[in-house]
Structure 1
Amino acid sequence: MLEENDVSAKRPVGQQDLSAERSLGHKTCRSNDHMHLQGCTVFLMINLGIVRMNQVPEKPAIGILAVDIGSKEASFGNSTITASYVYMLLSAGARVVPLPLSLNITAHKKLFGQINGLFVPGGFVTPLKSKVLRVFYNYVRWAVAANQQGDYFPIWGTCLGFELLLLSFSNRTVLEKCNVQNELLILTPTKYFMFNRMFRGASSHLLEAMHREPLAPNFHQWCATEETFRLNGLDNVFSTLTLSHSDKKKFTFISTIEHKRFPFYGIAWHPEKNVYEQHSSLNLSLSNAAIEMAHYLARFFVKEAQRSKHSFSSPSQYYQNSIFNYCPQFTGQLGYKYEQAYFFQ
């Protein structure tokens, strides 16, 4: 794994100053003029009479690691989180804490001790060339050490996050170019599926549907196969739960994994897009099973995070780091295929 990195910290785009008075406020958050993006309104419900300052909310706080900005969004900031991941976790009862790449290593380490789990979303960058890979390596080291000492800390990776998780436990040859884009595929169970943790609480009709119905949207350039898993020794580290096959590419790849020892989970597909994205060009599913799957997986990871004993020292510490200090930008109106995104300097 790589060594710890230190990047100078800056205030992210749209962040509110929470050092001001803590009364029930109505704050207007507007995007930079050069973005030509619509502003949004943020309601800060932090009145002392609404939340007692000596009582930390019990909902788990999940950190979402921001990823490298794409070339088209370079003028918006240095890192980003697509809003659908935020909504997916909020809908399952989590609190969300963004983790911008601009934070230095000390800040990331402090937040690791405060959040109850790490969520790594998809992105539009090459994994081995990304800044997020170096930051993610640190979180994996901390999480492995914590779990070895009985300090439960789960990690979830979707798409790019799935790829970064594999790279953290292997060498650079585990991923191969496949370019499976905008395909809705079936999740075919492997022989390890019956022993998995991820789908243990799923309903019987959801399990039946996921194996016969194409409900997994795929948008990724890189894939891992059972052969590359064996060659890199990853079959001793992760259990492969499902495979997916692209008829267009005539290619079968690993689509769902979980670590054999630690609470680390990865999926190459995008359940959140079925619920929260709306672009007409996206090949998505609105079936009952597809929607249920998104909510089930979100709830599964939130329940995993509830097992973590990490915490913020006070409500004010959480409020200073909450996603509600930031405005999602309406990227859909600019022609992007995701409706909203958060940008960070």
Structure 2
Amino acid sequence: MINLIYFTTPQKKIFSVSRDNICINKRYGRHSKHIFAFLFASPCLLVSSQCIITYSMKNSYIAASYVKFLESAGAHVVINKSDDEYRRLFKSINRVLFPGGGVSIESSGYSKAAGIFYRLALEANSNGDYFPIWGTCLGFELLTLLTSGKLLLSHTNTSGIALPLNFTDGKEKNTPSYLRKQCLIHVLIVWNSETLKSFYRVLSTNTDGQNEFVSTMEAYNFPIYATQWHPEKNAFEWTRPYIPHMPSVIKTTFYMAYFFSRKSFHSFPSTEEEEKALIYNYKPEYTGTQSAFEQKYFFLIRIIL
């Protein structure tokens, strides 16, 4: 069991297991939208940014902790482009990360761009071109929507808390043999979608004291991984006292970043093109006094919905 994994999930947003179904609660940010930035490297990755309403010339941001999380495993970061460039850029990036946020997973630039890359990733993997996807928090929920085509909503009380992960394999081993089959069947039955049930394997669950919810999952046949919790916060966010920073937790989350960042063989056609796209062309700003994020990258991006 991994102790004290951090959740920032508000009461109105969770991918949860109830007696009747597994569901995701959508969130709408009143003043924000999501679009994309790309993480590249010597592996190259992709991460989404959030658009904001502002009086400055910058309308988008990325929490720097997501960038640091993947850079700690050797990744580089670049900013997103227009729709027309997505397929071309897909051939240059190595993986996609859908981060957490406060926007619609149905009608935002974030969800639109994510859908494009999700479909491209499925196509690539089906043709033997290994391309992984990771979803964190809102990204977790978005993946279930992209996979099932359904919004499945619920409410849980898991805002700003640290919980241990209850791994499903451990649960099975610690369950009396006559209950194991019933327990495992229940975990599958509660999925309110046959597509989700056949596409994703539940790796861990958690509970808010009343409802059990899925906290970690992976696809059976594709390199798609998702956490409802935030592995990037343990090492890189210090704005809240309840975010765990123990060495064992940071070591675990680093391993996850390393695991995700060392896959795929896509690359830019030239060093010059990669350098022009890197997030190093932008400077992070300290926002810890007014935000849950220590630092953010701000930039102006054209939005097409």
TM-score in terms of structure 2 length: 0.75
What is the number of equivalent residue pairs in this alignment? Answer: 248
| 1:160, distance to aligned residue in structure 2 (A) | 1.1
Q: Give 2:45's aligned residue.
A: 62
Higher CA-based Rg: 1
Q: Is the 8 A contact 1:81 1:121 kept in 2?
A: no
Q: Is the 8 A contact 1:68 1:123 kept in 2?
A: no
Q: Give 1:4's aligned residue.
A: none
Q: What letter matches 2:100 in structure 1? A: G
Percent of aligned pairs sharing the same letter: 36
Pick the aligned partner of 2:259 from 300, 310, 325: 300
Matched, 1:318 2:274: yes
Q: Give 2:283's aligned residue.
A: 327
What do the CA deviations read for 1:243-299 (whole angstroms, capped 9, x no partner)?
A: 01123xx221100011111111100001211111111x3421122221111111101
What do the CA deviations read for 1:176-226 (whole angstroms, capped 9, x no partner)?
A: 2335210101110114999xxxxxxxxxxxxxxxxxxxxxxxxxxxxxx86
- Which protein, 1 or 2, shows the higher relative CO under an 8 Å CA cutoff with sep ≥ 6? 2
Matched, 1:77 2:77: no
Pick the aligned partner of 1:237 from 199, 216, 222: 199
| 1:174, distance to aligned residue in structure 2 (A) | 2.7
Q: 1:282 to 1:98 in 2, by over 3 A?
A: farther
Task: Tell me how far apart the structure 2 counterparts of residues 175 and 155 of structure 1 sit (CA, whole Å).
Answer: 23
| 1:232, distance to aligned residue in structure 2 (A) | 4.7
Q: Is the 8 A contact 1:189 1:241 kept in 2?
A: yes
Q: Give 2:218's aligned residue.
A: 258
Matched, 1:89 2:70: yes
Instruction: Give ranges in structure 1 of 5+ residues lacking alignment.
Output: 1-11, 13-56, 195-224
Q: Give 2:128's aligned residue.
A: 150
Q: Is the 8 A contact 1:329 1:342 kept in 2?
A: yes
Pick the aligned partner of 1:127 from 92, 105, 116: 105
Q: Say what the alpha-carbon RMSD is for the aligned residues.
A: 2.4
Instruction: Give ranges in structure 2 of 5+ residues lacking alignment.
Output: 1-35, 173-186, 301-305
Q: Give 2:180's aligned residue.
A: none
Find the residue that maps to 2:201 and give its secondary structure. Answer: strand
Q: 1:130 to 1:192 in 2, by over 3 A?
A: farther
| 1:95, distance to aligned residue in structure 2 (A) | 1.7
Q: What letter matches 2:254 in structure 1? A: H
Pick the aligned partner of 2:265 from 309, 316, 320: 309
Q: 1:120 to 1:231 in 2, by over 3 A?
A: closer
Matched, 1:339 2:294: yes
Where do 1:115-264 residues align within 5 Å? 115-191=93-169, 229-247=191-209, 250-264=210-224
| 1:234, distance to aligned residue in structure 2 (A) | 0.6
Matched, 1:105 2:64: no
Task: Tell me how far apart the structure 1 counterparts of residues 201 and 171 of structure 2 sit (CA, whole Å).
Answer: 8
| 1:117, distance to aligned residue in structure 2 (A) | 0.7
Find the residue that maps to 1:157 and give its secondary structure. Answer: strand
Find the residue that maps to 1:97 and give its secondary structure. Answer: strand
Find the residue that maps to 2:284 and give its secondary structure. Answer: coil
| 1:98, distance to aligned residue in structure 2 (A) | 2.7
